Amino acid sequence: MILINLLPHREAARKRRRETFQATMLASALVGLLIAGAIYWWFQMMIEGQQGRNAFLQGEIKVLESQIKEIATIEEEIAALRARQKAVEDLQSDRNLPVHLLSELVQQLPDGVYITSLKQTNQTVVMQGMAQSNERVSEMLRNLSNNTPWLSKPELVEIVANNITLTQRDQRRVSAFNLRFQLVRSSEVQKAKDAASVAGK
């Protein structure tokens, strides 16, 4: 016996394909939503982890900034202490400078020269005096330049011919001079001696 299907089979097939397509689209949309949700969740976890790391780094940066401020204040204190220490050392080394000054003047002043005034301001000494001649002043300047480590940079400010009266009948022609020079600190003299000993080896 032959079975003949008189139902509209093309429409039924079209309907089945449409339903299959719709089911596939729905399943694809669900899968897409699941994948998008998983990706969003993963990015959120990454962002939260990075934010946690950022917060930790900011906390550490604040700690380091406070430590840097402490170090800066400590460095300022160290600089102030070094300045005070240097001032004390300079005072200790300078307390013997008048002794060296007078000792060197006794040794370096040539015969025929005497001092009338001596004034020290910091490391600068201003000296006034009389000499028998200009040649004696020149000799004194050479001695102060070359023969002593304690005195440096002698500079003749003024020299004037003058007459002095020793007695009523005895008048002498002299050169009145005014000069200045620098006193050298003990530490600098020691450095110069050390450099000379190293150069002599």
Residue 97, Cβ neighbours under 10 Å: how many?
17
pLDDT of the residue at 1: 63
Question: Per-residue confidence at 37, pLDDT binned at 50, 70, 90?
Answer: very high
**Of the spans 29-33, 118-122, 144-148, which averages the highest pLDDT?**
29-33
Q: Please work out, in degrees rounded to the nearest 5, the angle formed at the alpha carbon of residue 146 by the alpha carbons of 175 and 89.
A: 110
pLDDT of the residue at 121: 81
pLDDT of the residue at 127: 87
**Of the spans 79-83, 84-88, 152-156, which averages the highest pLDDT?**
79-83
**Which of these CATH numbers, 3.20.20.140, 3.40.50.620, 3.40.309.10, 3.30.1360.100, describes 97-200?**
3.30.1360.100
Q: Is the pLDDT of residue 154 over 70?
A: yes
Q: Is the pLDDT of residue 4 over 70?
A: no
C-alpha 85/C-alpha 66 separation (Å) is 28
**Of the spans 60-64, 86-90, 181-185, 193-197, which averages the highest pLDDT?**
60-64
Overall average pLDDT of the 46-52 stretch: 93
C-alpha 96/C-alpha 89 separation (Å) is 12
Question: Per-residue confidence at 176, pLDDT binned at 50, 70, 90?
Answer: confident
DSSP category for residue 168: S
Question: Per-residue confidence at 82, pLDDT binned at 50, 70, 90?
Answer: very high
Q: Is the pLDDT of residue 7 over 70?
A: no
pLDDT of the residue at 105: 80
Overall average pLDDT of the 28-53 stretch: 93
Could you tell me the two tokens for 79? 């600089």
Could you tell me the two tokens for 23? 């089911």
pLDDT of the residue at 86: 84
C-alpha 154/C-alpha 183 separation (Å) is 10
Overall average pLDDT of the 150-175 stretch: 76
CA 5, 8, 12, 17 torsion-angle sign: positive
| 177 touches 156 (CB < 8 A) | yes
- First-to-last alpha carbon distance for the chain, in angstroms, is 135
Residue 104, Cβ neighbours under 10 Å: how many?
19
Per DSSP, the residues of 77-114 read HHHHHHHHHHHHHHHHHHTTHHHHHHHHHHHHSPTTEE
